[in-house]
Chain A
Amino acid sequence: MERRNITGEMSAAELAEVLANVRAGDSEAWGELYRRYAPAMFRFCRRALPTPEDAEDATTEIFMKVRQKLDTYDPSRPFTAWLYKVASNHCWDLLRRRRIRQDLETGDIETMPLEHPDPGQLERLQAEHSSKEVRTGLAKLPDRARMALVLRYYSDMSYDEIAETLGVRRAFVGVLLLRARHQLRDVLAGSGASGELGAAAGRS
């Protein structure tokens, strides 16, 4: 699967040069790198974390980490993928610390039956909600569900990468994603006018 293209992403040669300069301590190059990637990282944090302030703080902290860990980046792999890895580990770490009760709530997620969705209603739901509404709905999901959706549909991470980041078995990632999609549908159906889908998909 192709990675999301970050607006203004540099060419491989250009990136390699900038990275080399950053490693050499060139603050101009660091500024360049930051300007290219900070907006995407901020959007990532904004989706992964519940409040804008958390996202701002996290973006700054992630770039601090990036600067420290730049030596561990393997240039043969995509830089964006590495960035998202650092970012997702950081955000998940933040969320994990606040989580106790949700562990109890989602303990039986694997066995919980999900109602079969009605394709017509599903399509109506998609048509009725703007991007902004989807993101607002996203903020209401439990941490792990939200994180799974963001990692998959914003950062385009593979199932293996998601499993590693969230610390779950690979086979569980699909369950997590499906469950999260159901929860998002419930939230949107609950806030929108389309009504019955929430009841059909069960509890949230």
Chain B
Amino acid sequence: MNHFDEMTVLLYLEGQLDAARAQEVKAHAASCAACRALLGALESEGVWLRESLGAEDESVPARLIAPPERGSAPWGWLTALGLGAGGAYTLWTGFIEPWQAQAAQAGFTQGNLLTMLFFSSSFWKGWDAMRSAMEFTAMAILGLIVMWLLRRRFRRATTFAVVMAAALCAVALPPPAAATDTEHGHPNYTLAAGQEVKTDLIVAADRTVIDGDVDGDLITWSRSVTVNGHVKGDILGGGELVTVNGTVDGNVRATCQTLAITGTVGKNVMAWAGNFNLDRKGKIGGTATVGGEDVDLDGHVGGDLLAFFKTLDFNGSVGGNFRAQGRSLTIGPGAEIAGTTKFKGPNPPDVAPSAKLGGPVEFIRHERGPDRTSPRYYWHQVLLWGAGFVFGLVLLLIAPGFFYDVANACKKVGPTSGLGVLFLLALPVAAILVCVTIVGIPVGITALFLYAIAIYSTQVFVGAWLGEKILGAGVGFGPTLGRLALGLAIIRLLRLIPYLGALVAAVVVIWGLGALVLTLYRYMRPQFAPAAA
């Protein structure tokens, strides 16, 4: 008695046994009822499987009726690119261009973008500009939903029409908003000598001259501001040229191209200016915090001085401590510093022998930008690579499917770069808009937080894709990790290259973000739900 196991029976039925063995099975089955029953059951199971799998009782989706043309169906990336371009256009016409126009009007050179960004609230365009951004975001979302609903009915012609219409709408939207934006400055404003303003004074003018007295604060945004009179509160100002010849009892806070103080400021001065000039007659009662390109300090600062600059010529006096950071510092013969003197810069300061200092100058060598000669810089790069790798490792352990899908989505260059640009620009704007309402703040902050994580994770996905591109597809955990490590290392190396590195970083972020969004979108599509178990 010698029964066959199921495996042998299956191989016999599938014709995979050699002739002798098959004959054995046949002979045994003829004499053994149990084995014959098993053989019959497995044989009918094979037929049943073929019939069940081969049944043509499901319809082919409408989307598949037309054959794919050369090149994959382009509606995905056409949409994404259209929306991305629309978003970039809105952002440009709605925000950056008016800023630049305003800035140019105010005498800012365009190179002064940092100052512009820093004091962006001075350029606040009101709700109209915000509304146009909101309209675009809303429209983009609506468009995406409609396309998602219609995705099965899409034919190429319809698709093309919809995409073009969406792009046209996006382009057509901003102009009306832009028309309401430009508000020219008032003509010259002068507060004549002897006149007095009892409250705060807020002026937006081309040229503002204060010869009289202001009891409160002076808040002004003008091309040129000259204060010859007496301001009892603070001065908050911005413009091309701010000159304080008179007396200010409070603080001066200004951002401008040139700030000159020849008068007296009772309290503190905080200024971000291209040029800052404290005249020999000028006096600052409190501390001075100054950021500027060329800074000349010949007058008196009662408290501490904190200065960031390209060049600083110091020939005045400081009652407190002197802290400076910049390219070059000259301490002239007339300088007096009561407290300590600290300077951070590439070269030691030039100190005149007759300068009266409270102590020796403490000099800390500090190069601008990364010091590519120091091994520490490269050690940092290795650490950053390691951090990226660990992040990828955790991601791979937590959500391997997601990890692969995103890395895989990187292959679709068109849709990913379009979506990447769109989300890179739209998400922070949307999050900030949401933050405007109190209820929206947690949502907005969470969104920004996730955005930061998403941006960081882009290098991992692009790295994984890059590694796979180089070493070929690998299956399983180990090979994937190896490819990730290689890809990340290459990205990091490319980023070391000056200038090109920044471009690489931008491409990685846009690409990876697009792949991430594309994958999330795919996940949100309805999934096949098997019949309830």
Chain A interface residues toward B at CB < 8 A: 1, 4, 7, 27, 30-31, 33-35, 38-39, 42-43, 46-47, 50-53, 56, 59-61, 63-64, 67, 93, 96-101, 103, 114, 116-117, 119-120, 122-123, 126, 129-136, 138-140, 149-150, 153-154, 159, 174-175, 177-178, 181, 190-191
Q: B57 in the interface, Cβ–Cβ < 8 Å?
A: yes
Stretch at the interface among B42-50, B233-241, B380-388: B42-50
Given contacts A126-B48, A159-B16, contact A51 B37 (CB under 8 A): no
Q: Judging by beta carbons under 8 Å apart, are B56 and A43 in contact?
A: yes
A98 touches B401 (CB 8 A): yes
Among B65-73, B195-203, B209-217, B447-455, which stretch is in contact with chain A?
A: B65-73
Determine whether the beta carbon of B46 is less than 8 Å from that of A140: no
In the bound assembly, the distance between CA atoms of A181 and B11 in angstroms comes to 13
Given A43-B56, A52-B528, A126-B48, the answer on whether A117 and B41 have CB atoms closer than 8 Å is yes
Using CB atoms, name the residue of chain A closest to B40. Answer: A119
- CB of A52 within 8 A of CB of B53, answer no
Q: Which of B279-287, B321-329, B335-343, B470-478 contacts A (4 or more CB under 8 A)?
A: B470-478
Q: Given A38-B64, A174-B11, 11 more contacts at CB 8 Å?
A: A51-B527, A52-B61, A52-B528, A56-B61, A97-B405, A103-B475, A117-B38, A120-B41, A131-B57, A135-B55, A154-B53
Determine the chain A residues whose CB is within 8 A of the CB of B70 once the complex forms. 67
Cβ of B6 within 8 Å of any chain A Cβ, yes or no, is: yes
CA distance A9 to B489 in the complex (A): 52
15 CB-based A-B contacts, threshold 8 Å = A30-B67, A34-B68, A42-B60, A46-B58, A67-B70, A97-B407, A99-B475, A100-B396, A103-B475, A116-B6, A126-B48, A136-B531, A149-B49, A177-B10, A191-B531
A119 to B32, CA, bound (A): 14
Q: Which residues of the partner chain A approach B404 to less than 8 Å between Cβ atoms?
A: 97-98
CA distance A100 to B393 in the complex (A): 13
Q: How far apart are the CA atoms of A97 and B401 in the complex, in Å?
A: 8
Q: In the complex, how many angstroms separate the beta carbon of A46 from the nearest chain B beta carbon?
A: 7
Shortest CB-to-CB span from A124 to chain B, Å, is 10
B52 at the interface (CB under 8 A from A): yes
Q: How far is the CB of A7 from chain B (nearest CB, A)?
A: 7
B60 cross-chain contacts in A, Cβ below 8 A: 38-39, 42
Cβ B476 vs Cβ A63 within 8 A: no
Which chain B positions have C-beta within 8 A of A64?
Answer: 68, 72
Chain B residues within 8 Å of A150, by CB: 53
State whether B51 touches A131 (Cβ < 8 A).
yes
In the complex, whether B533 has a CB less than 8 A from a CB of chain A is yes
Docked-complex contact B68 and A63, CB < 8 angstroms? yes
Q: A99 vs B52: C-alpha distance in the bound complex, in angstroms? A: 26
Chain A nearest Cβ from B406, distance in angstroms: 11
Q: Which residue of B lies closest to A126 (CB)?
A: B48
Partner pick for B37 among A46, A56, A61, A119, CB 8 A cutoff: A119
Q: Which residues of B contact A30 (CB under 8 A)?
A: 67
B residues less than 8 Å from A96 (CB atoms): 473, 475
Which of B72, B477, B531 neighbours the largest number of chain A CB atoms within 10 Å of its CB?
Answer: B531
Are the CB atoms of A51 and B400 closer together than 8 Å? no
CB of A69 to closest CB in B, whole Å: 14
Min CB–CB distance A129 → chain B (angstroms): 8
Least Cβ distance of B102 to chain A in Å? Answer: 48
Set A35, A63, A126: member contacting B44, Cβ < 8 A: A126
- B49–A139 touching, CB < 8 Å: no
Shortest A4–chain B CB gap in Å is 6
Query: How distant is A60 from chain B, measured CB to nearest CB, in Å?
Result: 5
Which residues from chain A contact B528 at a C-beta distance below 8 Å? 50-53, 139
Q: How far is the CA of A138 from the CA of B7 in the complex (A)?
A: 21
Which residue of chain B is the closest to A122 with respect to CB atoms?
B41
Q: Which residues of chain B from 1 to 53 have a CB within 8 Å of any chain A CB?
A: 5-7, 10-11, 14-16, 37-38, 40-42, 44-46, 48-53
Query: B10–A178 contact, CB under 8 A?
Result: yes
Question: What residues of chain A lie closer than 8 Å to B115, measured between beta carbons?
Answer: none
Q: Are A60 and B64 in contact (CB-based, < 8 A)?
A: yes
Residue B498 CB within 8 A of the other chain: no
Q: Which of A98, A103, A138, A175 counts the most B-chain CB atoms under 10 A from its CB?
A: A98
Residues of A within 8 Å of B111, CB to CB, are: none
Q: Which residues of A contact B530 (CB under 8 A)?
A: 136, 139-140
Instruction: Determine whether the beta carbon of A153 is less than 8 Å from that of B49.
Output: yes
Knowing A100-B476, A181-B45, say if A4 contacts B54 (CB, 8 Å). yes
Whole-angstrom CA separation of A16 from B6 in the bound complex: 43
Residues of A within 8 A of B69 (CB): 27
Asked whether A133 lies within 8 Å of B400 as measured between CB atoms, the reply is: no
Query: Which B residue sits closest to A190, measured CB to CB?
Result: B533
Q: Which residues of A contact B396 (CB under 8 A)?
A: 100
**Bound CA span A119–B480, Å:** 44
Q: How far is the CA of A104 from the CA of B477 in the complex (A)?
A: 10
How far does the alpha carbon of A119 sit from the alpha carbon of B36 in the complex, in Å? 9
Docked CA distance A63–B396 (Å):
32
B61 touches A60 (CB 8 A): no
For B72, give the chain A residue with the smallest CB separation: A64
Q: State in angstroms the CA–CA spacing of A128 and B45 once bound together.
A: 12
Q: Are B46 and A153 in contact (CB under 8 A)?
A: yes
Pick from B14, B53, B405, B476: contact of A135, CB under 8 Å: B53
By a CB distance below 8 angstroms, the chain A residues around B46 are 153
Interfacial chain B residues near A140, Cβ < 8 Å: 530
Across the interface, A134 reaches (CB within 8 A) one of B11, B49, B400, B525, namely B49
Fill in one digit per residue for B64-99: 1 if any A CB lies within 8 Å of its CB, else 0.
101111101100000000000000000000000000
Quote the shortest CB–CB distance from A38 to chain B (angstroms): 6
- Please indicate which of the listed interface residues B44, B56, B60 has the most CB atoms of chain A within 10 Å of its own CB: B60
The 3 closest A-B pairs by CB, nearest first: A34-B67, A119-B41, A134-B52
Residues of the B chain whose Cβ atoms lie less than 8 Å from the Cβ of A100: 396, 400, 476-477, 480
- The residue in B46, B49, B69, B531 that gathers the most chain A C-beta atoms within 10 A of its C-beta is B49
When distances are taken between beta carbons in the complex, the residues of chain B under 8 Å from A190 are: 533
B116 CB to nearest A CB, Å: 46
Q: B63 interface residue, CB < 8 Å from A?
A: yes
For A125, give the chain B residue with the smallest CB separation. Answer: B45
Q: In the bound complex, do residue A39 and residue B56 qualify as a contact, i.e. CB atoms below 8 Å apart?
A: yes
